[in-house]
């Protein structure tokens, strides 16, 4: 299987043909967006819509052709259409990162409730238990 990080780093170029492992043509690269190859909507099999193919389905590059790790017919099932991609983006904020798009700000339940990124302490506390010095959070006295 191909190294997805290397493929995302620019080895897959716009307008490269995409071929299944059976040698059947599958489409043409419109662009690489995060962890997906966006296929052109002008291909006959596209139905006039962009399709998104996960980079994990790519076996490698061969002479300017993107070779898939599965037959073209099977790759159709792995594709996501534009409507499904938009739905994923609306339901999963991390999906934007997968497409290489910036986040809209802090995410996660704590971030929304407190307005900051996950993992930040609410009021700058150092993690020390409240109460008099020398007392643990379990109510056990220890020498100060």
Whether 144 is in a domain gets the answer no
Cα distance between residue 115 and residue 124, in whole Å:
14
Say if residues 127 and 121 touch (Cβ distance below 8 Å).
yes
Report d(CA 137, CA 130) in Å as an integer. Answer: 7
50 falls within a domain? yes
Q: Which residues contact 11 (CB under 8 A, 6 or more apart)?
A: 61
Range of the domain at 59: 4-98
Number of domains in the chain: 1
Q: What's the angle, vertex CA 105, arms to CA 101 and CA 111, rounded to 5?
A: 135
Please give the Cα distance from 115 to 107 (Å, whole number). Answer: 9
CATH number at residue 15: 2.30.30.240
Whole-number pLDDT of residue 24: 94
Q: Encode pLDDT of 32-90 as tens digits.
A: 988 899 999 988 777 788 999 999 999 999 889 999 999 999 999 999 988 888 888 78
Domain-embedded: residue 103 = no
Tell me, what's the pLDDT at 83? 86
The verdict on residue 117 lying in a domain is no
Report CA-CA distances (Å) from 98 to 7, 23, 37, 39.
14, 28, 11, 16
Domain membership of residue 131 (yes or no) is no
Who has greater pLDDT, 19 or 118? Answer: 19
Residue 80 maps to a domain: yes
């Amino acid at each position: 299987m191909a190294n997805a990080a290397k493929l995302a780093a620019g080895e897959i170029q716009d307008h490269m043909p995409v071929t299944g492992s059976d040698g059947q043509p599958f489409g043409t690269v419109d662009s690489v967006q995060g962890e997906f190859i966006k296929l052109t909507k002008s291909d006959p099999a596209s139905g006039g819509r962009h399709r998104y193919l996960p980079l994990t389905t790519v076996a490698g590059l061969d002479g300017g052709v993107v070779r898939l790790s599965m037959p073209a017919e099977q790759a159709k099932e792995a594709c996501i259409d534009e409507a499904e991609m938009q739905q994923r983006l609306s339901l999963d904020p991390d999906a934007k990162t997968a497409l290489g798009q910036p986040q809209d700000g802090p995410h996660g339940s704590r971030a929304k409730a407190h307005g900051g990124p996950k993992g930040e302490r609410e009021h700058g506390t150092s993690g020390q238990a409240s109460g008099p010095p020398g007392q643990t959070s379990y109510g056990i006295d220890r020498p100060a």
